[in-house]
Structure 1
Amino acid sequence: ALGRPPAAMKLRDAPSACPSLWRCLPCPPAELRLDLVLSSGQSFRWWESSPGAWTGVLGERVWTLRQDRDRLWYTVYGEEDEHEEEEQDGCSPKAAKLGGAETDRILRDYFQLDVGLSALYRAWEAADPLFRKVAEDFPGVRVLRQDPVECLLSFICTSNNHISRITAMIERLCQAFGPRLCCIDARPFHAFPSLSALTGTDAEARLRALGFGYRAKFVSGSARAIAEGLGAEGLLQLR
């Protein structure tokens, strides 16, 4: 029926939940530590949805990630469709239709998994005694390869700020300006806003109302400068 809200999908926090909807990549913790990387203040779209499981938005899709001794596990949730019923076990039928090769590629690119981190750690340890002292406590720390528009506008929000507050600001930004992707356990997830959404005549005022303060001018102004200059695709080509 028209106007009926879509049923919320259930969080899948482990491969045992809907195993057919999980995939994995070979990736030991020495190559990637989710807990260190996703909470480090590089990106502000991830939260630890249950112990060891991280849920967030990447590439206009909602993901849950977790890892074991030698694998990185992930599941991708389907987009909302108010006319599509959920399966009884809470698995969205649409989620299973996403191409595995493409989601593998997105995740490998995001974490730059084609860069061998263990070899770099060994080289850095040999060159720097200070790094050698801390490396054992901080293995698997990588630089995320993020969308440049999202990264730039997010880091404007970091000025005179801290991670928990930045995360809340980015969440409000996405809820107010970004399209809703899906709803999991009654929690809505939104994509990062498009440039056009952030360059409207009332965008700066709306951002100020959301608590962005002086940053509102720079978020909206930077979005406009990108849109009128290289554009999102042009900026992506510079990455």
Structure 2
Amino acid sequence: MALRDAPSARPALWRSLPCPAAELRLDLVLSAGQTFRWWESSPGAWTGVLGGRVWTLRQDRDRLWYTVYGEEEEEDGHAAEATKLDGAETDRILRDYFQLDVGLAALYRAWGAADPLFRKVAHDFPGVRVLRQDPVECLLSFICTSNNHISRITAMIERLCQAFGRRLCCLDARPFHAFPSLSALAGADAEARLRALGFGYRAKFVSGSARAIAEGLGAEGLRQLRAVPYAEARRVLCALPGVGAKVADCVCLMALDKAEAVPVDTHVWRIARQRYGAALGGRSLTPRAHQEIGDFFRGLWGPRAGWAQAVLFCADLRKGQELAGSWERAGGGRGQDSRGDGPP
């Protein structure tokens, strides 16, 4: 991202955190279906929206570098009102988002000792860690993953933010918007607007869940599910429109601190059956199948089974993308490449 091309954004100085590649690989974590708000803005640089601000991240061998862009000026020439963040606060936000206090290399060693297949796959996929996302954004984003693939989900979330979210700044002629508020997505016309944006049947679920949360738990109540047991958080989520076992487990794992949650879609089901020989769940992904497969991996990998599953999912996804690319180059079609290839 060329800073001189973004004069209205007022970039901050670059800062860095100690972070070896064994602890974090941006290219694997930000492109593998955990989040849909980052793009590779130049080779090795990732730009996206986090916490209502626009960031660019880079890595070298042992440090994570970042800059945060200020909000663009309004029509009267004054900068939009925003809370100023000092370096200590931006460091804290990134450490929290990437959960850098969790020692990943030690976990890889423990999972590899328990599971030779994990050890073999993980060698080529270091630094895959689970993000700690805003629960509202994570939930409403994953509702959009049903019967979908990453590139299409990313485009949908971008349209959602442009239509309903506050504009933050413009970089290289690309506008960036905050994720919409619950109130914006719970409005009377939200479902119709989402359908016009190409959300199809998901429009009803996005607006319905936004309304249910706004009128019930509220954003803070959803966040407080971080403090309750996994089974209870999952039960509350599954009561929301369009939220089934898979979406609930994605939110539990990636936003609500439930490291034992194992999101199960057809990718993970296939991994369990073909690579581990686990005859689980019968012929379809029923609630029982979700539970049995999750329990199988929790028994294998322990209390952070969801993190270990994220590594195998990333490896499976990357291989699938490479095969899909070869197929497309040969004149074939596009296949599924996300957690969204089954029912919500």
User: Which band: TM-score by shorter chain?
Assistant: 0.7 to 0.9
Matched residue type, 1:42: Q
What does residue range 70-89 of structure 1 map to in structure 2 within 5 Å?
70-82=62-74, 83=77
Q: CA deviation at 1:98?
A: 3.1
Separation in 1, partners of 2:85, 2:130: 26
Q: CA deviation at 1:81?
A: 1.6
Q: Return the TM-score normalized by structure 2.
A: 0.61
1:36 to 2:28 alignment: yes
8 Å contact kept, 2:161–2:178: yes
8 Å contact kept, 2:48–2:54: yes
8 Å contact kept, 1:11–1:185: no
1:212 to 2:219 alignment: no
Where 1:238 maps in the other structure, the secondary structure is helix
Structure-1 residue corresponding to 2:54: 62
Q: CA deviation at 1:68?
A: 0.3
4+ runs deviating over 2 angstroms: none
- Listed one character per residue, the Cα deviations across residues 156-210 of structure 1 (whole Å, up to 9, x for unaligned) are 1000000000000000000000000111111110000000000111000000000
Q: CA deviation at 1:237?
A: 1.6
Structure-1 residue corresponding to 2:99: 112
Separation in 1, partners of 2:7, 2:155: 23
Q: CA deviation at 1:121?
A: 0.5
Question: Which has the larger share of helix?
Answer: 2
Question: Which has the larger share of strand?
Answer: 1
Matched residue type, 2:204: K
Matched residue type, 1:238: L
Matched residue type, 1:195: L
Where does the alignment leave 5 or more consecutive residues of structure 1 unmatched?
A: 1-6, 13-17, 86-93
1:198 to 2:195 alignment: no
Quick one: percent identity of the two aligned structures?
88
Matched residue type, 2:109: R
Q: CA deviation at 1:11?
A: 11
1:22 to 2:9 alignment: no
- Listed one character per residue, the Cα deviations across residues 2-53 of structure 1 (whole Å, up to 9, x for unaligned) are xxxxx972599xxxxx8x7100000000000000000010000000000000
Separation in 1, partners of 2:224, 2:41: 33
Where 1:109 maps in the other structure, the secondary structure is helix
8 Å contact kept, 2:8–2:170: no
Structure-2 residue corresponding to 1:166: 153
Q: Is the deviation greater in 75-84 or in 222-231?
A: 75-84
8 Å contact kept, 2:186–2:208: yes
Where does the alignment leave 5 or more consecutive residues of structure 2 unmatched?
A: 227-344
Structure-2 residue corresponding to 1:221: 208
Separation in 1, partners of 2:174, 2:45: 16
Structure-1 residue corresponding to 2:247: none
Structure-2 residue corresponding to 1:134: 121
1:146 to 2:133 alignment: yes
8 Å contact kept, 1:180–1:189: yes
Where 1:125 maps in the other structure, the secondary structure is helix
Number of positions where the alignment pairs a residue of Structure 1 with one of Structure 2: 218
